Amino acid sequence: MRQVKRERVLNLCEPFIDGRRRLLLIEAQAGQGKSTLARQVTDQLDKTVCLVECDKNDAALVNLMEKFFSNLALHTPGLNGTEIIQAVCSCPSQDELLLLLPEMLKSISSEKTLQKTVLLLEDAHLLLKAPHSLKGLRLLFDHLGHCLSMIITSRSQLPGEQGLLFRRNESVLISNQTLAFDKSEVLLLYRQAYGLDLDNKKAGKLLAITEGWPFGLSLLRTELNELDRRQGLAPGSELDNYFNSQCLGILSPEEADALVDVSLLENIPLALLGELELHTASRALKTLYDKGCFITNHRQDGSDFLRMHHLLQACLRNIVENRSRLFCVRAAGWFLRNGQLGQALDLLARSGDVAELKKALYIHGSNLMLMNRLSLVVQALKHLPENIVNEEPLLLALWGNEKLHQNPGQALRLLEAAWKMAGDKKENLAELLAGLGLINYQLLFHGNLWKLRRVTKRVMELFALLEEQKEITAMLAGACSYLICFSVTYTMADYGLADKFAEKAEEIFRSHSEGSVPLGITVARIYTKSARGYLKESLLRQQKNYLYLNSPTVNPSTKFICYLSYTNFSMMKGYFLDYWSLRDELFKKQAIMVKNSAMGAFYYIWDMDMLMAKGDFSGVLELANKALASDLVKKTNHIASQCHQYIALAYAFLGKKEAALAAVSRSMHLRARVGGVLFILLNHLVAGSVWGISGEFKKAERVFKIVLKRLAAAEDRYFMPQAHAYRAHARLLEGKEKEALDDVKSMLEIMGSVENYHFFYWEGFMVRRLLELYFKNIKKPSEFALKLYRKRFGMDYISGGETIPRLRLSLAEGRLYCLDAPDVFIDLADVPGKESMLLDCLLRTPDRSVSQEKIIDRIWPEGAKATKPRDNLYQTVHKLRARFAAITNKKLAKKYLRTSSEGHALCHVDVDLNHLLDQAKKGLADLSQNRFWMAEMHFREMKRLLDPFPVDYKWLVDESRLLAKAVVAWVDLLFRVGETERALEAAEMGLKVDPANDGLHNRRYRLYMELAMPAKAAQAKSDYERLFKEAG
């Protein structure tokens, strides 16, 4: 019917053809000519057709998107299809893929070749029971609709979350009624397609019987003389009869049987027909193709293949239930040899040959698991009886791993069944795969460290055995090493062993992946280092990972662990404001993982720790009880145990000894259920701390002695400083200052060696007391101790054990205040001219003396120098010092505004402008050394400091140039990592400092275009041109 051009219907499609609408929606029943009309429309477009035919497998969003991107890549030369498809397949769940899709689509929306491509999506009704795939289809339209024309055919309306998936004003809609033939078109059809001239009477009868149904009109052309006996032929009926008569009726019985076999294939490669010598099937297909009977020829990726019309394929598949086992096995072998695993597994499962299916899975199953392609296995298993699947541990293991992120409960049942059955049947590979799934489950969703430890030990035995027998692939060996690394760290606290496995995984992937190492493996090595407290070394390894945080090619679980690492690092380095911003970003970008993963519950722990550091014990108790009431923590004894530890410490500091000891008991009870050597020691450490705070010093001393001995044996540098801190605190309460000082020295030595500024379970006042004890007794404190005191408490050490609180001079807010009491401040607007000029002169070089001559030259004009300028300077210094005394005291005021033989200096004062410029310099320096994450942290701080400055602030030329240079570098970094919206925000911020900066204007224009905001881009360009003209 394609040769019958239907001008009436094509005229209705005109708004789509001329580009006024980007979507043509053809909704009609089977046989109404949807595909025919779609192709007639594409014939009128000067565009390449990207064809995507939906099938039942596309109910899984990953399959639909993989098919879409692979087909689109064929018609879009600049599109890296392999990278995007890898990202699609690496998503552990459909929800995660929906979250990632906008970023993926945004990355390709700028491809100019998309303007010359039309997407033809056929049989979208097969997605009706797949809400995720329908949402994905909507995302395609929302993000690519402005550049990619789309034609969608469906047998029914597509539902959305609220009503229809597409609104009527978004598309050109062609319905059943529109496609039904009228009398003139019936006459045209029979004349052009069949060479028959009908009269109006016969045409009218045909219309009455078929209701204008195109396939019905074709079916009745052989029965024109018997129309009077026909009672009616409703759309969609008698399709099997039609295809049987039109196709099978012109073939021999042998050809018909061969055609039934090849109908199992979505695409029929000509190479397969030749290599397997399927001459009968080739002859049948050629016969139908020559007669134009619903067989088409296609070429893709350099290969030729035939494709059946989907209705013909459906009718052939319904003819017999039991397929030719020989054909399925032979064809599956061909697809395996040619790397088409999905088609091969599907055929083997249809054949019912479980032995051949298992043989293929033993070879390819582990790689499919590592590539996140287990959906292919699960799809194939649907063709097998359930009782057969339930008796095969390998099938259960692969099925359980595939369900891990979609349905953790079902996954656990499948994996445990596979684990037990494989052990009984001595199927080592199946037992190993099930074990890896169970490790993943415990790490991500449950956190039972006893079970994790038991499974890990067995996995390590199986791993060694299969390696010895050379029955394990290199990639699977790398994955085993990777997961064992995490598990050993958690359950045994054997960091050396964990690091060996992480190193082994890294070596395997480097030697078998052309030198590239997956991000997850890199994270594993970083994790083992940071778990031992080696923050500096971990940070150096983690820098480049920042570039891939938003990459669509990175598995969401790996991204999640990366974010956990960065938030942990930000806390340990003392970047507490960055902790909150990174935490909020993670909650936004990895919402599903945070909600469902046991690791997501760590944020309760870290939030409690921030409250503990401030001494907010009521807040700690409130948050801990909220966490314990949450479903996520209820099922995770590992996290619940730590919540009770915080409750114990909070009650101990509040003086509620009995409540604290009860919380310690509950924590230990929960810890006994889940194990974990490291966390058992942590439990004892908290217990000792509670005894010490409560005055039970002998009990506390015994506990600390045991804990410190075991931590030293484990070469720990993570919990060791905490143990020394709490023992020092207990000894200080007992009056043993000398012994307490020894512990403080040990604490600072370990912290300084790894450059950590914060550890969990620290209470701020306690640590401050320990540092003051240190300064009182040490004549020459370490540089790290001074930095820690300043960073954590805003205090400076002077000499002789004396300390002083630092002041904050905010030029952005126009006030000077003490960090301990920000509500008491000096308003800089109230400071008179000479005093203000003196302050401005000194704040440019804090903690460094400026000579009296330089100050006088700057403050007093030439004519005023004759009137005792030094006396005037002393009076001005005295008045300004009196203002400092108003917010501190007279004694401290002399420390802040210091006078010496070298001149005058502003000391122990943080100036926001100086800090702002310092962060810009550090960010640029880190960026030049490829320390991307550290650069990002400095630029974040730069933004926080720059935001309060008013638009009309008078920047010096050197200041504005430096800040603009740093902002440009940050914008480029953010754009590189896919943070386009934040890059635009940064560019806008930079223009506040340097409104005429050419680089920032160009980047702002480009970012607006990247975000598909052409109107704003045009306005930005116009604003810059106007500014340029005004500046001459």
Query: How many CB atoms neighbour CB 683 within 10 A?
Result: 22
Helix (H) or strand (E) run with residue 48 in it: strand 48-53
| 285-309 confidence digits (pLDDT tens) | 888 887 766 787 777 666 788 888 7
| 981-1001 confidence digits (pLDDT tens) | 899 999 999 999 998 888 899
In Å, how far are 12, 241, 304 from 245, measured between CA atoms? Answer: 34, 6, 28
| 645-701 confidence digits (pLDDT tens) | 999 999 999 999 999 999 999 999 988 877 777 788 888 999 999 999 999 999 999
Average pLDDT on 886-900 reads 87
Nearest to 557 by CA among 679, 416, 404: 404
In whole angstroms, what is the distance from residue 164 CA to residue 935 CA? Answer: 47
In whole angstroms, what is the distance from residue 72 CA to residue 148 CA? Answer: 10
What local confidence, expressed as pLDDT, does residue 321 receive? 54
CB 166 within 8 A of CB 15: no
Residue 121's DSSP bridge partners are 52, 152
Task: Reply yes or no on whether the pLDDT at 134 is more than 60.
Answer: yes
Tokens of 523: 């994270």
Mean pLDDT in the chain? 83
- Which residues fall within 8 angstroms of residue 767, CB to CB, at 6 or more apart? 725, 792
Confidence of residue 319 (pLDDT cuts 50, 70, 90): low
Residue whose entry in the numeric block shows the structure tokens 């039972």? 448
In Å, how far are 13, 154, 307 from 26, measured between CA atoms? Answer: 10, 6, 22
DSSP annotation of 850: B
Average pLDDT on 103-115 reads 73
CB 731 within 8 A of CB 762: no
Tokens of 869: 């300028």
Please measure the distance between the N-terminal and C-terminal CA atoms of the chain and give it in whole angstroms: 68
| 758-793 confidence digits (pLDDT tens) | 766 677 788 889 999 999 999 889 999 999 898 888
- CA-based torsion, 422, 428, 433, 434: positive or negative: positive
Rg (CA), the chain: 37
| Residue scoring higher pLDDT (356 or 313) | 356
Nearest to 869 by CA among 885, 882, 881, 852: 852
- CA-based torsion, 610, 612, 617, 622: positive or negative: positive
Task: Reply yes or no on whether the pLDDT at 229 is more than 70.
Answer: no
Task: Reply yes or no on whether the pLDDT at 852 is more than 60.
Answer: yes
**Bridging pattern class, strands 909-911 and 807-810:** parallel
In whole angstroms, what is the distance from residue 452 CA to residue 782 CA? Answer: 42
What local confidence, expressed as pLDDT, does residue 221 receive? 66
Residue whose entry in the numeric block shows the structure tokens 């007391």? 769
Reduced 3-state DSSP string for 968-1002: HHHHHHHHHCCCHHHHHHHHHHHHHHCCCCHHHHH
Report the percent of the chain where pLDDT is more than 90: 22
In whole angstroms, what is the distance from residue 279 CA to residue 282 CA? Answer: 5
Nearest to 363 by CA among 341, 383, 382: 341
In whole angstroms, what is the distance from residue 622 CA to residue 638 CA? Answer: 19
Task: Give the CB-side neighbour count of residue 813, counting CA atoms within 13 A.
Answer: 15
Helix (H) or strand (E) run with residue 542 in it: helix 535-542
Reduced 3-state DSSP string for 572-594: HCCCHHHHHHHHHHHHHHCHHHH
Q: Is the pTM of this model over 0.75?
A: no
Helix (H) or strand (E) run with residue 823 in it: strand 821-827
Nearest to 491 by CA among 638, 675, 647, 357: 675
Phi, then psi, of 748 in degrees rounded to 5: -70, -35
DSSP string, 735-760: T-HHHHHHHHHHHHHHHHHHT----T
Q: Is 205 exposed, middle or buried, given 0-12, 13-18 or 19+ CB atoms closer than 10 A?
A: middle
| 818-839 confidence digits (pLDDT tens) | 877 788 888 888 888 888 888 8
* Max mean pLDDT range (68-72, 101-105, 849-853, 960-964): 960-964
Tokens of 149: 């024309």
Task: Reply yes or no on whether the pLDDT at 18 is more than 70.
Answer: yes
Task: Reply yes or no on whether the pLDDT at 515 is more than 70.
Answer: no
Amino acid at residue number 86: Q
Which structural domains are found in the chain, ordered by start? 7-176 (3.40.50), 183-237 (no CATH), 244-321 (1.10.10.10), 563-781 (1.25.40.10), 806-907 (1.10.10.10), 913-1030 (1.25.40.10)
What local confidence, expressed as pLDDT, does residue 32 receive? 80
- Which residues fall within 8 angstroms of residue 10, CB to CB, at 6 or more apart? 17, 37, 40, 41, 44
CA dihedral 310, 313, 318, 322 (to 10 degrees): -140
Task: Reply yes or no on whether the pLDDT at 2 is more than 50.
Answer: no
Helix (H) or strand (E) run with residue 289 in it: helix 279-290
Classify 851 as helix, strand or coil. coil
Amino acid at residue number 12: L
Confidence of residue 147 (pLDDT cuts 50, 70, 90): confident
